[in-house]
Amino acid sequence: MTKLSILDLSPVIQGGTPAEALQNSLRLAQAAEQFGYERFWVAEHHNMKGIASAATSVVIGFIAGGTEKIRIGAGGIMLPNHSPLVIAEQFGTLASLYPNRIDLGLGRAPGTDQETSRALRRTLQGSADDFPDDVMELQHFLKKAEPGQRVIAVPGAGTNVPLWILGSSLFGAQLAAYLGLPFAFASHFAPADMEQALDLYREGFKPSEQMKQPYVMLGFNVCAAESDKEAHYLRSSSLQSFLNLRRGTPSLLPPPIKDFESRMTQQDRAILSQLSRCSAVGDLDTVKEGMARFVDKTGADELMLVCSIFDHEKRVRSFELVAQAGADLLERTH
């Protein structure tokens, strides 16, 4: 049975503010809860004017406080930016306030440029190479404290917040398999190694206290509307934003442009071609078919859906249509 969830980047639109973006994230999470989505995640990015979720644990608390049952989490926390103890305390606090509703996805990328990384950490002595040790240290702080343990996360110890390993390469797949943790692959923007990563994860998985069997979540781009034409028009905002990011000029989310895809350069098309493998754009039937093909191909246990649309109400409607498409998908995979 393939579950559906949402990854929200709290997009700041042109002419908008971070405050408005965060309120929109809450409204979207509330709608997602009504539509039946499994979980709602936000991501840690820094020094990006178009993303308002930099203080990720704070945003999670805000959204969890405005919802009732949907799981809320990080997709993810970039662990090299933080000490494991601090993250254990933050997510232990969240789990204490919102029991059985908090997820903690962990990534090893900085989520920003090197200069900003230095500003975040004050020193770059640590590196992504420390990530496996940091994950295990974090696990230790979230478990019940041992007799004589001198450093204890309070809150945190004994909360056993569910951990996920995030990745866009083979490294994350191997680590998730070794630790027996669920694996979320960022196929929505970096699908090149997806098939090989899934094979490595599933074949190498070792059961753990948290997970007895492998569990795969895959990022998937969606944009649904009343017609294929409208959906492609609405999606032009996120495509413009993605191109700006790849050019090294991250921007506020721009308004949509008519016939945007026909205006793209060959270089633009090459950059965006990878996204089509993990995307469904169109009306209800088109999105339903696209999601079904992707699940049939990958065997994903869960799809983490990504959709940035300039008009917030259109974005909510997109996720409503996707939920309707997903209801049929659930029946197919049950």
Mean pLDDT within 181-205: 96
Contact 25, 318 (CB under 8 A): no
Give the span between the Cα atoms of 258 and 142, in whole angstroms: 50
205: Cα separation from own chain's centroid: 22
Write out pLDDT tens, residues 282-292.
999 999 999 99
Give the span between the Cα atoms of 63 and 54, in whole angstroms: 14
Any idea which of 3-7, 79-83, 110-114, 151-155 has the lowest mean pLDDT?
110-114
DSSP characters over 170-201: HHHHHHHHHHT--EEE-TTT--TTHHHHHHHH
**Residue 331 reports pLDDT greater than 90:** no
Q: pLDDT class for 157, splitting at 50, 70, 90?
A: very high
Residues 6+ apart with CB under 8 A from 123: none
DSSP characters over 30-96: HHHHHHT-SEEEE----S-TTB--SSHHHHHHHHHHT-SSSEEEEEEEEGGGS-HHHHHHHHHHHHH
pLDDT of 264? 87
Domain range summary for the chain, segments of one domain joined by +: 223-296+310-334
Q: How many residues belong to the chain? A: 334
Mean pLDDT within 125-154: 91
Mean pLDDT, the chain, rounded, equals 93
Q: Residue for token digits 């997009």?
A: 11
Q: Does the pTM of the predicted model rise above 0.85?
A: yes
Two structure tokens written together for 325: 């498409």
**Residue 35 reports pLDDT greater than 80:** yes
Write out pLDDT tens, residues 159-185.
999 999 999 999 999 999 999 999 999
Two structure tokens written together for 80: 């090299």
